[in-house]
Amino acid sequence: MAENIHRHHHHNPTNIGMIGVPHGPETGDDHLSMRGVPDKADEERIMKQLIYPDDTHTPDGTYWADLPFGQQMKFNASVDNAEAAKELKAIGSMTKKDPLSPIAWYFRNAVLPGAGLGLEGYVLFSIGNLTPLFSAAWPTCWKTYSDCNRTWVEAVQYLEVCGIIVGQILVGALGDGIGRRWGLIQDALIMFVGLLMLVASWGTTLNGWVICYCWALFFYGIGVGGEYPMTATAAMENATGSGRISTRDDRLHRGRKVTMAFLMQGWGQFFNQVILIILLLCFHHGSGNPPYSKVSAQWTFRVSFALPAVGTLWLVYYRYYKMPLASKALNAAKKRSSVTGYDMQSLKLTCNHFGGRLIATAGAWYCNDVFFYGNKLFQSQFIAVLSPGSKSIMTGWLWNLVNVGVSLCGYYLASFLIDIKFVGRKRMQQLGFLMDFVLFVVPAFHYKYYALETSHIKAFQAMYFLSSFFNQFGPNSTTFLVAAEVFPTPVRASAHGFSAAVGKLGALTAAVLYNYIDTQTKFYVVPWFGLAGMIVTFLFLPDTTGLDLKEQERRFTYIREGRESEYHGIAVHPRHLSIWERLRGAGKHYDPKLDYSSKVNDLRTEWAERQAERMDSEEGIGNEVDEEFPREVHDYFAQTTNVKAAISEKKQRHQPSSSSASASDEISNEKVSV
């Protein structure tokens, strides 16, 4: 947030850890062009500002995770406090100039990136909210099943989830193959057509209408499913950028950017419930009490689907015309690997090297969705306990509105804390699973005491609402983030889509289970999925909080080139590896000193490639600074690098017979020809 907010104000272009901004020639004594060929001392002074940014390393170049625990806390608290003060100051300045500018910033950085998930949350959870209305207006179809086939009525839940699973796998793969932008556009188009089908669903019989309604939900679900991997990857890659140079915003706020987009799902649920309440009052003569006419039910559900159709059509326009660079990071990764289309090599390498991470992201998501959708499906029984004998749909909807409000508190707290290194993704996910386990297992073994005795109903109510809070604060937010974050760019959408699809199998498990077991048995069964999720997270999930995502991409480049043992950077620091990966020896090559030399050569090669591209495009290089590099770094490479030799050395590494030796010494001994 700080980096984006500060674009409204002047800032120091050479701020350590941030991408340098082009500026005029320097004339001081330290400027490289005035001193001849730099020596080793020059290199260390110049490169350390880029390799050891001050928000992750101490002044002597020690990575924060290598410090003793007490010093880690002190260092990270200092960085976080300074960043928070900078953000508050920027917000104050923006508010002083324009009181509405912070709202505009939030709209651009949270509402627009998460608009698809907001619309998805609106419609997806509308299905459960509408079921009581359908049951009251058409009891012969939705209750006694005398006019409708029970299988098709129950398929309303199943086919929707099946459509989501298809979309998550299919669009995830397409997003990696054809690009994020087209994946986002096609998702919005599918959801728009699906909403038109829902609004227009009809049949000559009640059963015919239910069948039409089911298949409209299936089609809409494909778009919903694709929204998961597309939104997650686009939001993350927007935060990290397409270049090789890391940004302060990526390191300190990447998690918040993604979760701010994801929490729009909660707002979608909120507005759906509010709009349904308003529509029912409008079409039911200002009353929310039974009996409910078929006419009021028809108008309520059709208008509730027509409203998001307008927003979805606008989303198609926005993604087509206003997001031309959504695939920039993916295209850059494919270009570096000389890949077009779908990157099958990256998929195989991901399965071989990051299989444990797939277990973590898919397994934890499965366990979470049993809880998340179980909580929603169990809602009617919960409300029956709170309001025994009530036949009004409005009572259930109002209690649900309270539950959504509690959930939104969990979403926002997750967004605020997810980048704090002492809290972070992994600990939040474990805590959320643990609390859900406790909050369901306690009433399971004392069901009569909490659920059936009036004097203890409030304690039961508190546990139910707290389970919603901790589910959003923990696994429901973190699974969405880490399923994109722990995998390399070329297959990020596919891995996220696969994990999300396995998660939806958890939703399907809950939907099937809840049809065959009574209320108390639900409490006996469901908690153990929370315990299983906590164990899977503990063993298989790496903690990427505070990890420079560019380093993970750099590590994957080494793996792709068959030089995994030559990578010594922070992506294999024990702090950022799972217990499973540590036991398999993934962190044995971590060595900050060796990594420094390797990273200088990697940055040199990246710089050389960019210079070659600029020369080929007749832009020339001259004295114009490369915007990806701070000025001093650009000048240093310009004086010490042979562009052709640097690129040639990299090409040799891609050949099957290439040596895995370090970069050639001649790269740093010749000055580039301009």
In a domain, 599, yes or no: no
d(CA 671, CA 674): 9
Residue 78 lies in a domain: no
**pLDDT attached to residue 46:** 83
3-state secondary structure 597-646: HHHHHHHHHHHHHHHHHHHHCCCCCCCCCCCCCCHHHHHHHHHHCCHHHH
- In angstroms, the CA 554 to CA 545 distance is 17
Residue 416 lies inside a defined structural domain of this protein: yes
Count the Cβ atoms, other than its own, within 10 Å of residue 351. 12
Q: How far is CA 220 from CA 153, 158, 160, 175, 215, in A?
A: 17, 13, 8, 18, 8
pLDDT at 475: 94
Q: What is the pLDDT of residues 45-59, one digit of tens each?
A: 888 878 899 999 999
Q: Is residue 625 part of a domain?
A: no
Q: What is the 3-state secondary structure (H, E, C) of 336-363?
A: HCCCCCCCHHHHHHHHHHCHHHHHHHHH
Pairs from 666-670 (Cβ < 8 Å, separation ≥ 24): 666/642, 667/601, 667/604, 667/605, 667/608, 667/641, 667/642, 668/604, 668/640, 668/641, 669/640, 669/642, 670/641, 670/642, 670/645
Domain range for 441: 112-540
pLDDT of residue 377: 59
Residue located via tokens 């509690």: 406
Task: Quote the pTM value.
Answer: 0.83
Query: What span, in angstroms and rounded, lies between the C-alpha atoms of 365 and 152?
Result: 28
- Main-chain dihedrals φ then ψ at residue 310, nearest 5 degrees: -65, -45
**Cβ contact 520:447 at 8 Å:** yes
Token duo for residue 44? 């260390």
Are 565 and 441 spatial neighbours (Cβ–Cβ below 8 Å)?
Answer: no
Write the CA distances from 503 to 56, 68, 384, 508, 673, integer angstroms: 34, 37, 28, 9, 55
pLDDT at 37: 62
Backbone angles phi, psi at 487, to 5 degrees: -120, 155
Condensed to tens digits (0 to 9), the pLDDT of residues 600-619 reads: 888 888 888 777 777 766 55
Q: What is the pLDDT of residue 285?
A: 80
528, part of any domain? yes
> Between the CA of residue 193 and those of 84, 189, 271, 506, 633, what are the distances in Å?
43, 6, 21, 27, 51
Q: How far apart are CA 118 and CA 260, in angstroms?
A: 11
Amino acid at 518: D
Q: Give domain status of residue 313, yes or no.
A: yes
Q: What is the number of other CB atoms lying within 10 angstroms of the CB of residue 114?
A: 26
Q: Comparing C-alpha atoms, which of 595, 596, 538 is closest to residue 567?
A: 595
Confidence (pLDDT) at 288: 77
Spatial neighbors of 605 by CB under 8 A, at least 6 apart, are 646, 647, 649, 650, 663, 667
> Which residues of the chain register pLDDT less than 50?
1-35, 621-623, 656-674
* Count of the separate structural domains present in the chain: 1
- Residue 290: give its domain's CATH number: 1.20.1250.20
d(Cα 67, Cα 77) in Å, to the nearest integer? 13
* pLDDT for 28: 38
pLDDT value of position 661:
38
φ, ψ of residue 244 to 5 degrees: the values are -90, -15
What integer pLDDT is reported at residue 324 of this predicted model?
Answer: 76
Q: Is residue 490 assigned to a domain? A: yes
What number of helices (H) and strands (E) belong to the chain? 30, 0
What pLDDT is recorded for position 653? 60
Q: Would residue 419 count as lying in a domain?
A: yes
